Homo-oligomer: A and B are copies of this chain.
Amino acid sequence: MSLAKSEMYNLISQKLYTGVICDTLDQLGFRNQAMREDIRPMDQAVTLVGTAKTMLAVDVYQTMKNPYDTEIKAIDSIQPDEVVVVATNRSTRNGPWGELLSTAAKMRGARGAIVDGLIRDSKRISELRFPVFCTGFKPVDSNGRGIVIDYDCPVEVGGVLVNSGDIVFADHDGVVVIPKDTLEQVVEIALQKVNRENRTREELLQGKLLRDVYEKYGVL
């Protein structure tokens, strides 16, 4: 990659948006990369992009021995520019992510977290300015409710299979997963698409009919 990873992520965050990335992935034949619509940003204005670091949490019904063991290993192994991607098998009993995990993850260099489940400590996470996308909130601890059984493993999050190393990009429209080997190609094509959309918008704002503008640029 000609750009350093963090520069590439900043470029995506500043110049692109999830819609144009999805269109590009569609064009390349990756048509199921957008997560389910119930994974939402805590802060509507935030944009998040980084390298996926996956964790798999599952529901349990008793306090376990060393309940946090795998979870702590996962967090302490985070690398800079990673985004923690947490599968919970869509639990609504557990609150597997909270402020202290956010703090520890941030200090290791994580850019944010995507949780296919409920989280807690939302107010303090906001104050920490650590971007989190999740399906909702519940003030409960995971002890006796869920346990992390693996990390850096394939997980299904929001209906999309994610591997550690894939790129996740999230904004107000949702979360999209870019397979790791396609990143440079995706960004290059997407930047061109943005230009075409810009010209379409300009002509529409001049009052031209959609028919005429669409026939000129082929974008909608």
- CB of A13 closer than 8 Å to a CB of B: no
Q: How many copies does the complex hold?
A: 6
Interface size class of A (residues with CB under 8 A): 35 or more
Instruction: Say how far A69's CB is from chain B's closest CB, in angstroms.
Output: 9
Q: Is the CB of B58 within 8 A of A149?
A: yes
| Chain A contact residues: helix, strand, loop or mixed | mixed
- CB of A151 closer than 8 Å to a CB of B: no
**A136 / chain B contacts, CB cutoff of 8 Å:** 37-38
Give the CA-CA distance A38 to B92 in the complex, in Å.
10
Among A18, A123, A220, chain B packs the most CB atoms within 10 A around the CB of: A220
In this complex, what residue of B is CB-closest to A63? B26
Q: Is the CB of B17 within 8 A of A197?
A: no
- CB of A107 closer than 8 Å to a CB of B: yes
Given A26-B140, A75-B210, A107-B207, 17 extra CB contacts under 8 A: A17-B121, A17-B139, A19-B139, A21-B139, A34-B138, A40-B137, A56-B61, A60-B153, A61-B154, A62-B153, A72-B214, A100-B197, A101-B210, A101-B220, A104-B209, A123-B171, A137-B173
- CB of A4 closer than 8 Å to a CB of B: no
Instruction: Say how far A152's CB is from chain B's closest CB, in angstroms.
Output: 11
Contact of A58 among B23, B58, B76, B161 (CB under 8 A): B58
**A79 / chain B contacts, CB cutoff of 8 Å:** none
**A173 / chain B contacts, CB cutoff of 8 Å:** 95, 120-123, 137-139
Give the CA-CA distance A54 to B197 in the complex, in Å.
26
**A99 / chain B contacts, CB cutoff of 8 Å:** 201
**A91 / chain B contacts, CB cutoff of 8 Å:** 89
Among A31, A156, A174, A197, chain B packs the most CB atoms within 10 A around the CB of: A174
Contact of A141 among B26, B38, B149 (CB under 8 A): B26
Known contacts: A144-B31, A204-B103. The answer to whether A37 contacts B118 by CB under 8 A is yes
**A204 / chain B contacts, CB cutoff of 8 Å:** 100, 103-104, 107
